[in-house]
Amino acid sequence: MSNLETQLAELRQEAQQAIAHVATLEDLEQLRIKYLGKKGSLSKVLGGMGKLDATERPRIGALANEVKDSLQMDLDQKRDMLQAAQIEAQLEAEALDVTMPGVYQLQGRAHPLTSTIDRMIDIFVGLGYTVATGPEMETDYYNFEALNFLPDHPARDMQDTLFLPDGNILRTHTSSVQIRYMEENDPPVRIVMPGRCYRRDTVDATHSAVFHQLEILAVDEGLTFTDLRGTIKIFLETMFGEIPIRFRPSFFPFTEPSAEVDVQWRGRWLEVMGCGMVDPNVLKAVGHDPEVYTGFAAGLGVERIAMVLHQIDDIRRLYNSDLRFLRQF
Ligand code: DAH
């Protein structure tokens, strides 16, 4: 065997082994360049052809071509294999198991007090009311005096007020917003006033030192107690459906006559609001003539209404942020 023949045989063997062991397409390409490339091993071997005897040349040339073709075939085969394996691996990695349980994302939701306030507002907005708000820190004037609570009048005892060091108070009810609104707006007035209120109450199943009210106020010419009653009835029936309602005579300094409204819940009467015809002194305090205008107002307890709506037995559940409880709503 001539020297070149040996070289070609060795080259073929070496290349075949290398191709057999290669594991990636990139490495395979490197091998192709190394053995069959322009400056590759095969070219180098063939560089020696010139020195060959003319009778030898065709035979060696044919052998070189055969080596080249067979290596090219090995390379092609290996490339197909590696490509198939790559696709296989990709398919496996991206496989979607549609029977796998999903990842459950807990969704946030409105607190039952917030959603109750929203529902209440919606009903009054549907009746033509607009929303008004006021500060939670109030002066004695807006919380009491303008609402016809006389200084040192025992009516102030009804509301266990939290006093601030500067002489202001935390509002005990949303009725203060009535005054603030009427100071700025002439009749006709139809407003709904949601908000947080504060009292020095000992916390128990039905009392909380922080609670929510939703106040309504209508002032116009010719409003009567019938309008108040009809409005309250429509509100309660929209909120709860057909439900027994009771108006009970009561007293508030800022309304005359005054009433409290109960709904029947779990076999007993539960008070859900105070209401009445706006006292002439309140209209005078904001500069409206009580001979021309009359009005009605109501203060609804949001917690009470949420409790009836959702069958909640203890007001404290609405405040201790137990998600196991809150997620039900
Ligand atoms: N402000 C009263 C309270 O907190 C509730 C109330 C009663 C509001 C009668 C009213 C009303 O607007 O007319 O106890």
What CATH number did the domain enclosing 221 receive?
3.30.930.10
Q: Which atom of ligand 1 is nearest to the CA of 158?
A: 14
Using the 8-state DSSP alphabet, how is residue 37 labeled? Answer: S
Q: How far is the CA of 320 from the centre of ligand 1 (A)?
A: 27
pTM above 0.75, yes or no: no
d(CA 79, CA 243): 80
- pLDDT at position 160 over 90: no
pLDDT at 1: 56
pLDDT at 47: 83
- Structure confidence at residue 85 as a pLDDT band (50, 70, 90): very high
Residues 215, 312: one domain? yes
130: in domain? yes
pLDDT at 158: 61
Residues 207, 64: one domain? no
Cβ burial, residue 168 (10 Å; 0-12/13-18/19+): middle
Residues 50, 153: one domain? no
- pLDDT at position 155 over 80: no
Among the candidates 26, 58, 93, a domain finishes at: 93
- pLDDT at position 61 over 60: yes
C-alpha distances in angstroms, 224 versus 154, 287, 308? 28, 20, 28
Residues 249, 136: one domain? yes
* Structural contact between residues 140 and 199, judged by C-beta atoms closer than 8 angstroms: no
Residues 87, 116: one domain? no
Give the residue, out of 143, 176, 254, 272, with the most ligand 1 atoms within 8 A of its beta carbon, to mutate for a pocket test: 254
Residues 168, 283: one domain? yes
Residue spans of beta strands (DSSP E) within the chain: 130-131, 137-138, 162-163, 169-170, 189-198, 210-220, 245-252, 255-265, 268-278, 294-301
Residues 20, 55: one domain? yes
Q: How far is the CA of 329 from the centre of ligand 1 (A)?
A: 28
- pLDDT at position 163 over 60: yes
Residues 227-278: tens digit of each pLDDT: 999 999 999 999 999 889 999 999 999 999 999 999 998 888 989 999 999 9
- Structure confidence at residue 130 as a pLDDT band (50, 70, 90): very high
- pLDDT at position 148 over 90: yes
- Which of 247, 206, 244 shows the shortest CA–CA distance to 225? 247
The lowest-confidence range among 58-67, 152-161, 223-232, 302-311 is 152-161
Please tell me if the CB atom of residue 252 comes closer than 6 angstroms to any atom of ligand 1. yes
Please tell me if the CB atom of residue 302 comes closer than 6 angstroms to any atom of ligand 1. no
Residues 116, 80: one domain? no
Q: Which atom of ligand 1 is nearest to the CA of 173?
A: 4
d(CA 111, CA 303): 12
Q: Which structural domain, as residue segments, surrounds residue 301? A: 112-326
285: in domain? yes
Please tell me if the CB atom of residue 195 comes closer than 6 angstroms to any atom of ligand 1. no
Cβ burial, residue 155 (10 Å; 0-12/13-18/19+): middle
What is the mean predicted confidence (pLDDT) over 215-224?
98
306: in domain? yes
Q: How far is the CA of 274 from the centre of ligand 1 (A)?
A: 5
Q: How far is the CA of 298 from the centre of ligand 1 (A)?
A: 6
Q: How far is the CA of 119 from the centre of ligand 1 (A)?
A: 20
Which residue's CA is the closest to the ligand 1 atom numbered 9? 275
- Structure confidence at residue 300 as a pLDDT band (50, 70, 90): very high
264: in domain? yes
Q: Which two tokens stand for residue 148?
A: 């016809």
Q: Which two tokens stand for residue 6?
A: 């040996």
Residues 37, 126: one domain? no
105: in domain? no
Instruction: Indicate the average pLDDT of the chain.
Output: 92
Q: How far is the CA of 198 from the centre of ligand 1 (A)?
A: 14
- pLDDT at position 22 over 80: yes
- Which of 326, 122, 299 shows the shortest CA–CA distance to 211? 299
Question: Bigger pLDDT: 125 or 200?
Answer: 125
Q: How far is the CA of 167 from the centre of ligand 1 (A)?
A: 23
d(CA 219, CA 27): 88
Please tell me if the CB atom of residue 297 comes closer than 6 angstroms to any atom of ligand 1. yes
Q: Which two tokens stand for residue 73?
A: 């075939």
The lowest-confidence range among 69-83, 98-112, 182-196, 212-226 is 98-112
Residues 132, 56: one domain? no
Question: Bigger pLDDT: 292 or 61?
Answer: 292
Task: List 217's β-bridge partners, or say none.
Answer: 191, 297
The lowest-confidence range among 8-22, 144-158, 232-246, 307-321 is 144-158
